Structure 1
Amino acid sequence: MVFAPNGGELRSLSNEPKPMVNVMGKPLLIHVADNLRSIGALRVIAAVEDNVNVEGVELSRLSNDYWGTLKLIIKETPRGSTVVFSSTEYYVPREAYEALLNTHLSMGYDATMLVTAVEDTSSGVVVHVNSEGRVTGLSRGMGPGYLFLNLMVIERNVFEDYGELNWGSIKAGVHLWNGWFTRVNSPWSLLDLTRNLLSGLRESTISTKARISPKASIEGLVVIDDDAVLDHNCTLRGPVYVGKGAYVGTGALLRNHTSIEEGAVIGANAEVTESLVGPRATVGRGSFIGASLIGPRAVVEPGVVTLTTTVDRKIGAVIGGGARVGANSVIKPGSVVKPSELINPLTYYG
């Protein structure tokens, strides 16, 4: 099952519920569902706050009591089932799912939690373990410790045999994850997730339904989806994703962990780097988009520049869904253009 809360900070990018925000051609919820299916899940149930329509996913209502919601859903599953709990709050790759399940099965635990050792646990839940690696309890994070990555395998029978998740009564353990993870809690975190996903590419995938000019240049690893169009003299320097029906204009340059979502348009001679361009968004000719997020159906007119700065990480701008940025405007680093906001041409914004 998947816990899929809204995630309020993502509303500055899109009015879509957080589980439905697209990264590399799929909503976050589908990314998590695919990871569950990769380890053999027969049913995927998502506990959501909003009405969403997701093919192949059963929907349940998410309450403020996550553990209570988990118990209610688990009790609907057959006795003897193994249930995997995940979330759209933290994203981990499918290798983490496989490693967690292998540990759970090999150790014979009632429940097994995915944790990672971090210096600051204030963003989440700390898992306390004894010298034998058994879980003794949970608490709110503060300081260094084992951060719970919201991924757990639990046996359905635990709720029949013990009634509650009493960590002192059940045989619960952890799998220590040393790989990458992304906490999806802000638009900027989507850039981290895009980078992590694209960095995991092992080979290029180019649809036979894509239309690619013989004069286009492709360097490095790329994913080019159905009906995408790459026009004359455009350049892709991977890792890069180009979604279904997206258009990359003459002379445009896409590079460095950039994701162009379904139906987006990149105008002639535009440059997009380290950015996420949302579904059906438009980047006008000659624009420069760096370390930025462009929301669904937003329009960036020709000649727009997003300036970047580096503090803890490189950041450009967030341009909300349905917004319009007028031609030859300059957007200052860290600026957030609200969804549906109109920025006049020749504006120095932020």
Structure 2
Amino acid sequence: MRGIVLAGGSNDKMSVLTGGTSKTFLSLMGRKLFYYPLRNTLSLVDEIAIVVNNDNEANKAWNYIPENLRKKVRIIVQREEGIEEAILSCKDYITEEWFLLSFGDIIMPREAFSIIYSTFREWKRPIALVTPSSYIETYGVVRIVGSSIIEIYEKPEERLEISHVLGGVFILPKEIFSLIEQHGDFIGALNEMAQDMGLWASLWTGDWIDVGYPWDLISAFYVLANRLHDKIISKDAIVSPTAIIEGPVIVEEGAIIDHYAVIKGPVYIGRNVFVGKGSFIREYSSIEEGAVVGAHSEIKRSVLQPYSTVGSFSLVNDSVLGSKSVVEPRVTVLSDLREKGEYKRPLPLQGIVARKRKLGVILENGGRIKANSVVGPAITIFKDGKIEEIV
């Protein structure tokens, strides 16, 4: 069986972090987002195609794939925009009767993939992973009777307390290509398949994050970090003898952990990161390649994209800092949504962000927060200095 990972597409909601590139190329725990569904899919299939938007992304994707996996991977550039075109671009690649399709922006444990594969082996029928979700505006919502999907519909007018949505992983027959060509619509093709061939539901109730908004990176890292159990420090990292590292922590090559810094895992410290004297990196923080955390600063439950900087004596909570962004010294980020009062609109929160009800700042790529500022909660700060409330 072969697999397909859809790593292209566009998402305006993520544009402050993507800079025009697909969101699946954002960094998380030292890898690009698409790597995680790629890895999970490769645990079940012999070969895999990654679908990207253009030749530039194709070159980047190849460089981001670990060398030991490259012989099993092909990069395919989709001809036109849209999920339907992305799938159809793989029509000639799929030569066997069945294939596994995965969305490149979904973060979940490998066990979810194992469950759908086990269901397929038992029934030998088209299978879709489904999962409960209280936010149904952007997903394909499914109506299930027994183990069968009866209908899939998008953006229902009636808001439900809880619904099952498509989980972004499918095992489908080659017939799906002709159905997509007939309907011009992936959901329409699935609905016809459900009526004519049957479409089985494989239920997953564990961690599942659809990275559709910048703050979803926080929840996605939480899922990944909970799989860490060991302390892994590269022999090529420099860690001061006075630094304290507790719990599951990864420190990559070239990283420098200065005197009296404290890192309390689960935490990821990427390649060539600098953590300054007396800084405190707290649980569920992912500090990506080349980022800098100044002396005596505190970072908690935040994602710092590559080459971002947090100045000395700053407090950054529940935030996502874009690539090459700067938080100047003595900045405080507030994050408690319970103190915000009335919301302008409902905020689609997932995972740990929803449970904690905390969200600080989304700082655009190349953006800057001025020294001595107190900012947040729940705001986006753009490169031009404009501030926009998220809720």
- Map of 1:332 onto structure 2: 376
Query: Is residue 2:128 matched to residue 1:113?
Result: yes
> Could you tell me how far apart the structure 2 residues matched to 1:54 and 1:104 are?
29
Unaligned runs of 5+ in 2: 63-69, 183-188, 339-353
Please give the secondary structure, in 2, of the residue aligned with 1:54.
helix
Tell me, yes or no, if structure 1 residue 320 matches structure 2 residue 349: no
- Deviation, 1:266, is 0.7
Task: Confirm or deny: 8 A CA contact 1:14 1:320 kept in the other structure.
Answer: no
- The equivalences for 1:176-187 within 5 A come to 176-187=203-214
Task: Name the residue aligned to 2:119.
Answer: 103
CA distance in structure 2 between the aligned counterparts of 1:153 and 1:30, rounded to whole angstroms: 19
* Aligned counterparts of 2:166 and 2:359: Cα–Cα separation in 1: 27
RMSD of aligned alpha carbons: 2.6
Q: TM-score, normalised by structure 1?
A: 0.89
The answer to whether the aligner puts 1:262 opposite 2:255 as a matched pair is no
2:166 aligned to 127, 132, 148, which one?
A: 148
- Which one of the candidate residues 184, 193, 196 is aligned to 2:223? 196
Q: Give the counterpart of 2:51 among 46, 50, 53.
A: 46
Residues 157-168 of structure 1 correspond to what in structure 2 (within 5 A)? 165=189, 166-167=192-193, 168=195
Q: In 2 relative to 1, CA 213–320 (structure 1 residues): closer, same or farther, beyond 3 Å?
A: same
Q: Alpha-carbon deviation of 1:120?
A: 4.7
Give the Cα separation in 2 of the matches to 1:43 and 1:192.
27
Query: Partner of 2:384 in structure 1?
Result: 341
User: Measured at CA, do residues 203 and 106 of structure 1 come closer, stay the same or move farther in structure 2, by a change above 3 Å?
Assistant: farther
- CA gap of 1:194–1:31, structure 2 versus 1, over 3 A, is same
Structure 1 window deviating more from structure 2 (80-89 vs 98-107): it is 80-89
Q: Distance in 1 between matches of 2:220 and 2:134?
A: 21
Contact 2:37 2:106 (8 Å CA) reproduced: no
Aligned pairs for 1:215-254 within 5 A = 215-254=242-281
Distance in 1 between the 2:116 and 2:77 partners?
A: 25
Residue deviations 1:156-198 (CA, integer Å, cap 9, x gap) = 3665899974322224312100101112111111111111211
Superposed displacement of residue 67, structure 1: 3.7
Question: Are residue 85 (structure 1) and residue 83 (structure 2) matched?
Answer: no
In the alignment, structure 1 residue 275 sits paired with structure 2 residue 280: no
Q: Percent identity between the aligned chains? A: 26
User: How far apart in 1 are the matches of 2:178 and 2:151?
Assistant: 20
Tell me, what secondary structure is at the counterpart of 1:152? strand
* Partners of 2:308 and 2:323 within 8 A in 1: yes
Structure 2 equivalent of residue 293 of structure 1: 320
Does the Cα contact within 8 Å between 2:332 and 2:374 map onto a contact in 1?
Answer: yes
SS of 2:215's equivalent?
helix
Partners of 1:179 and 1:62 lie apart in 2 by 35
SS at match of 2:89: helix
Partner of 1:127: 142
CA contact (8 A) 2:337 2:377 kept: no
1:263, CA displacement in angstroms? 0.6
- 1:84 shift after superposition: 1.4
CA contact (8 A) 1:5 1:62 kept: no
**How many residue pairs end up in the alignment?**
342
Give the structure-2-normalised TM-score: 0.80
Q: Distance in 1 between matches of 2:179 and 2:333?
A: 58
Deviations 1:44-98 (A, max 9, x none): 221437841211450321645534542x234213432532111134322222112
Moved over 6 A (4+): 160-164
* Correspondence for 2:75: 58
Unaligned regions of 5+ residues in structure 1, if any? none
How far 1:107 moved relative to its partner? 1.9
When structure 1 is superposed on structure 2, of 25-34 and 120-129 the one drifting more is 120-129
Cα offsets for 1:2-21 (capped at 9, x unmatched): 22322211112341431211
SS of corresponding position for 1:147: strand
Amino acid at match of 2:370: G
Alpha-carbon distance in 2 for matches of 1:5, 1:333: 30
Q: Is the 8 A contact 2:23 2:105 kept in 1?
A: no
Distance 1:285 1:78, change over 3 A: closer
Task: Specify the alignment match of 1:309 in structure 2.
Answer: 336
2:107·2:223 contact (CA, 8 Å) conserved in 1? no
CA positional deviation for 1:294: 0.9
Change beyond 3 A, Cα 1:336–1:34: same
Q: Which residue does 1:138 correspond to in 2?
A: 152
